[in-house]
């Protein structure tokens, strides 16, 4: 019954906000709400070791909290939503006149992104094939180096921005050009290949989603192509998860990769479904937290979380001995498991809301999150005319803020991205905007 209430809320608010297939709200619902908070518990209930009715009892409080969170998130979203069917605003006269400069800007971002990409391999001492043989280890080694994580992100953000910009400003008529179709397919394959060694499925999946989003909303692909594309994307998501895990435990050459690919023949369809669900399942950990909610509720100061977020952004050498606290995911992982030998597990921002504000956090924080997402979704309509909005959209970084977290590395990454967003936008306005160039020439 609680799951049905959640589904009813989604359908009701989707209708009120006039959701369209593969609009920004659809992507948010599908990736951040529907799969994680609805499909995931259904899967856990009917594939768990206990009988479904016992599992429903165990998850009853969890599902109640989720219903409250979903309601207030949608309430905040709906209050500032323009409640019109999603579509891109058409190119205005300034955008048409400045189209060539925006293509040049996209190529500039591609060159810069590839330079940073090459620098990553030099910095870590890896070769491309070596990284491809063990992407998970390569990912860990990047993170372990000072500045490696943000160097990698800077490269990815620039490459994603270049591909999305080219898609909008150069390939927008590729439906009528065989050459542009072929060239775009080559670029898409190239994009997947260069992102594979990073060992993080979302890095490959996000530009894939962004590209399909542009193509579909510009009516360059059909509903059937959209469905096939998403199916391939989710298969790729599961495939990469299984591959990187197997590769982590003993790949040494190309022959080993071939052996691993042969092993995939033994996997059944349900194995891939399980892998996809695992990618989105944080509810097992949230349920674990809610079982001891009274112990943790209000245990951390809201202001202290902001302070610790600031400290995440500051290099240790500048702090002068000030000690950083571990983020709430790491804290809860160590509390429940005794260590973080296998990394930190995601307890979802809902756990942090409870730790900072108690039960009132289940109301205030999703409401604020919904308002913020609605404003972002409204801005995405204008990515053809507003380069700041396009840069913000290009890596779908806003998906990390669907449910706002304070003291987390994900939020710190969003802040760094906003700084990048502002910096690269200023670069565009100075060197590539046609109006500014006329001022310089005069």
Chain mean pLDDT for the chain = 83
pLDDT score at 238: 72
Model's pTM, two decimal places? Answer: 0.84
Residue 159 pLDDT exceeds 90: yes
Residue 244 pLDDT exceeds 70: yes
Average pLDDT over residues 118-142: 90
Residue 95 pLDDT exceeds 60: yes
pLDDT score at 354: 92
The SS3 call for residue 196 is helix
Residue 69 pLDDT class (50, 70, 90 cuts): very high
Average pLDDT over residues 107-113: 96
Percent of the chain with pLDDT over 90: 32
CA distance 68 to 376: 23
Average pLDDT over residues 219-248: 79
- Considering only residues 246 and 88, tell me which one the structure prediction assigns the higher pLDDT: 88
Nearest Cα residue to 285 out of 242, 244, 335? 335
Give how far Cα 154 sits from Cα of 112, 113, 356, 384, 425, Å: 9, 7, 32, 23, 14
Average pLDDT over residues 225-241: 79
User: Are 290 and 62 in contact, with CB atoms under 8 Å apart?
Assistant: yes
Tokens 């606290």: give the residue: 325
Q: Domain ranges in the chain?
A: 2-86+282-428, 93-279
Tokens 């967003």: give the residue: 421
Average pLDDT over residues 106-135: 93
- Considering only residues 78 and 261, tell me which one the structure prediction assigns the higher pLDDT: 78
198-202, 224-228, 338-342, 401-405: segment of lowest average pLDDT: 338-342
Residue 126 pLDDT exceeds 70: yes
Average pLDDT over residues 290-298: 86
Total Cβ atoms within 10 A of residue 362: 21
5-19, 293-307, 338-352: segment of lowest average pLDDT: 338-352
Residue 117 pLDDT class (50, 70, 90 cuts): very high
pLDDT score at 11: 85
Structural tokens at position 138: 């390569």
Average pLDDT over residues 342-349: 77
Structural tokens at position 160: 């994603």
pLDDT score at 439: 46
Ranges 66-70, 133-137, 267-271, 281-285, most confident: 66-70
Nearest Cα residue to 288 out of 235, 338, 333? 333
Nearest Cα residue to 373 out of 36, 143, 32? 32
Residue 374 pLDDT class (50, 70, 90 cuts): very high
Chain-centroid distance of CA 185 in Å reads 23
Residue 380 pLDDT class (50, 70, 90 cuts): very high
pLDDT score at 383: 94
Residue 195 pLDDT exceeds 80: yes
CA distance 269 to 223: 24
CA distance 217 to 409: 32
57-66, 79-88, 219-228: segment of lowest average pLDDT: 57-66
Ranges 36-45, 225-234, 334-343, 386-395, most confident: 386-395
pLDDT score at 401: 86
Phi, psi for 345 (deg, rounded to 5)? -100, 145
pLDDT score at 277: 63
Structural tokens at position 319: 């702090």
Residue 440 pLDDT class (50, 70, 90 cuts): very low
């Amino acid at each position: 019954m609680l799951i049905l209430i959640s589904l009813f809320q989604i359908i009701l608010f989707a209708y009120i906000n006039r959701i369209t297939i593969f609009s920004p709200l659809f992507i948010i619902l599908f990736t951040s709400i529907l799969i994680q908070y609805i499909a995931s518990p259904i899967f856990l209930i009917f594939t768990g070791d206990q009988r479904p009715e016992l599992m429903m009892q165990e998850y009853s409080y969890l599902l109640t909290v989720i219903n409250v969170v979903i309601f207030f998130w949608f309430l905040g979203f709906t209050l500032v939503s323009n409640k019109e069917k999603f579509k891109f605003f058409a190119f205005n006269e300034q955008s048409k006149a400045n189209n060539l400069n925006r293509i040049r800007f996209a190529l500039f971002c591609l060159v810069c992104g590839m330079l940073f990409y090459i620098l990553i391999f030099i910095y870590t001492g890896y070769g491309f094939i070596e990284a491809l043989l063990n992407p998970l280890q390569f990912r860990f080694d990047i993170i372990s180096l000072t500045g490696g994580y943000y160097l990698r992100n800077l490269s990815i953000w620039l490459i994603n921005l270049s591909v999305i910009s080219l898609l909008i400003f150069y390939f927008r008529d590729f439906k009528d050009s065989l050459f542009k179709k072929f060239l775009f397919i080559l670029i898409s394959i190239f994009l997947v290949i260069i992102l594979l060694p990073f060992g993080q499925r979302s890095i490959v999946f996000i530009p894939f989603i962004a590209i399909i989003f542009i193509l579909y909303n510009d009516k360059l692909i059909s509903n059937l192509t959209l469905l096939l594309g998403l199916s391939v994307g989710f298969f790729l998501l599961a495939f990469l998860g299984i591959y990187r895990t197997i590769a982590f435990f003993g790949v040494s050459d190309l022959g080993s990769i071939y052996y691993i690919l042969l092993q995939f023949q033994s996997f059944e369809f349900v194995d891939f479904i399980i892998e996809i669900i695992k990618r989105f399942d944080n509810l097992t950990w949230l349920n674990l937290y809610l079982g001891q909610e009274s112990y943790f509720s209000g245990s951390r100061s809201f202001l202290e979380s902001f302070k610790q977020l600031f400290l995440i952004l500051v290099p240790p050498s500048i702090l002068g001995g000030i000690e950083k606290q571990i983020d709430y995911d790491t804290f809860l992982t160590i509390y429940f498991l005794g260590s973080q030998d296998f990394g930190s597990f995601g307890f979802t921002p809902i756990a942090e809301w409870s730790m900072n504000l108690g039960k009132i956090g289940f109301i205030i924080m999703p409401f604020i999150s919904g308002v913020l997402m609605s404003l972002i979704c409204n801005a995405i309509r204008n990515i053809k005319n507003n380069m700041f909005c396009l840069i913000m959209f290009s890596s779908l970084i806003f998906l990390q803020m669907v449910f706002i977290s304070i003291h987390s590395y994900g939020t710190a990454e969003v802040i760094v991205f906003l700084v990048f967003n502002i910096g690269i936008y200023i670069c565009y306005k100075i060197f590539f905007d046609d109006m500014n160039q006329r001022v310089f020439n005069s």
